[in-house]
Amino acid sequence: MKKKLVFISTVAFILLANKIILSKLILFSLEKWTNKDIIIKDFNIIYKKRKFSLNNIIISDKDDSSKKIFQAEKIDIILKPSSLLSTLIIIEKVEIQKPILNLDFTISNNSKNLIKDNLGISKKLSKKENPKIYPKKIIDINFLVLDLSFENFKVDIKRSDTNNSSTLILSNMKFKKFGNEFGYQHYKDIFKIILIDLVMRIPDQELRKIIKKYYNFSQ
């Protein structure tokens, strides 16, 4: 176990010392996790403040990069450096500046069911697959975010089957202590809270009702 931790420590030190390697690793990890095309136009490390700044982030559809799904002017991430040497990575603070989410829904006129959305959620929900069985990890590395905040989160919603569109501004939100570490709120619960706030603001009542039913929102 000690040898494995020494290896992790060495890799962490090399990455922190090399901005290019670290930026490419972050980009690769995000694209693999989201299955989307991601552009980060500028990446900075401020060592004294333990801050990583991702500037002008654009997340697009993998099949059509012209279809932007998410963008933000800046995302600042402050890490606890010593946690990189352990099996629990602690992210002290995340600030998202001027986030914009573009959503595109298509509803069946006959069945009034959600056919597709540009996030791919409906596609996953419609597939009745057996739960994935993941191989046992040699080292289980988890993460914990101590503070996440965003303001003026803009959401552009389009309904392709009617060509109706609207723009929403979500509530300013702040979340504390979440991640995938046992004993803390799971990050998927945070996503659900944001989505519920979004859905409740949709002016198209038919779309709102269908999304609530399809995504299993009880609110």
Residue 162: pLDDT band by 50, 70, 90 thresholds? confident
Where is average pLDDT lowest: 15-19, 77-81, 214-218?
Answer: 15-19
To the question of pTM greater than 0.85 for the whole model, the response is no
Phi/psi of residue 176, nearest 5 degrees = -125, 135
First to last CA, the chain: 46
Q: Reply yes or no on whether the pLDDT at 205 is more than 80.
A: yes
Residue 63: pLDDT band by 50, 70, 90 thresholds? confident
Every domain of the chain and the residues it spans: 2-214
**Residues 110-126, mean pLDDT to the nearest whole number:** 69
**Residues 131-160, mean pLDDT to the nearest whole number:** 80
Task: Report the pLDDT value the prediction gives residue 168, as an integer from 0 to 100.
Answer: 93
- Residue range 73-112, pLDDT digits in tens: 999 999 888 887 788 889 999 999 999 999 998 887 766 6
- What stretch of H or E contains 177? strand 173-179
Angle between helices 187-199 and 205-214 (to 10 degrees): 160
**HEC readout, 63-91:** CCCCCEEEEEEEEEEEECHHHHHCCEEEE
